[in-house]
Amino acid sequence: MFIHETTVRVLYADTDKAGVVYYGNYLRFFERGRTEYFRALGRSYADFEKMGILLTVVEVHARYHAPARYDERVVIRTWISRVTRTRIEFGYELLNDEGRKLCEGTTLLGCIGAETMRPAALPEEMMAMVKDKVVAAEKTR
């Protein structure tokens, strides 16, 4: 099981007129968490693109608990909660410096061939890299 943590600082561009993170920008935090998760395993998303596969978001869920504000540090906790032959589901939890939960969510990514743009199996290398990293959803809360 593997949960990766990335810390970011909220930029002014992330916020709305009220000075809190605009709700849609939490998806950008999810993406940063995913990107850094793969990097922590020793591969970048670009490496998988070079193999001829793309991971595309097919479903997203977010639940907002408290606002993140400009210049605040946010910890993005990321894990893989499910893997199938063609899909990977990531879970996320965003916390402030005091450990208060700001947002939690999931993204389901489907694997497609870069040339065909059709569903494809995840590369064996990716499956081997993540198969022992899956975290049961109930263990993350």
Report the predicted TM-score, pTM, of the whole model to 2 decimal places.
Answer: 0.91
Enter the tokens of residue 110: 């489907």
Percent helix, percent strand, percent coil in the chain, to nearest 5: 25, 40, 35
Q: Is pLDDT of 141 > 50? A: no
Query: Looking up tokens 């990716």, which residue turns up?
Result: 126
Indicate the average pLDDT of the chain.
93
Q: Is pLDDT of 42 > 60? A: yes
Residues sharing a CB contact under 8 Å with residue 74, sequence separation 6 or more, in sequence order = 7, 8, 9, 10, 29, 68, 94, 95, 96, 102
Locate the domains of the chain by residue range: 3-139
Determine the average pLDDT of the residues in 8-32: 96
Gap between the Cα atoms of 128 and 114, Å rounded? 21
Enter the tokens of residue 10: 């909220």
Residues sharing a CB contact under 8 Å with residue 24, sequence separation 6 or more, in sequence order = none
Q: Where are the alpha helices (DSSP H) in 11-60?
A: 26-40, 45-50
Q: Is pLDDT of 139 > 70? A: no
Q: What 3-state DSSP class applies to 50?
A: helix
pLDDT at position 140 is: 47
Q: Is pLDDT of 54 > 50? A: yes
Query: Which tens digit of pLDDT belongs to each residue from 87-99?
Result: 999 999 999 999 9
Gap between the Cα atoms of 110 and 59, Å rounded? 9
CATH fold label, 3-139: Thiol Ester Dehydrase; Chain A (3.10.129)
Walk across the sheet containing 53-64 and list its strands. 3-9, 73-83, 87-96, 101-113, 53-64
pLDDT at position 135 is: 87
Q: What percent of the chain has pLDDT over 70?
A: 96
Q: Identify the bridge partners of residue 79 per DSSP, sorted by sequence position.
A: 3, 91
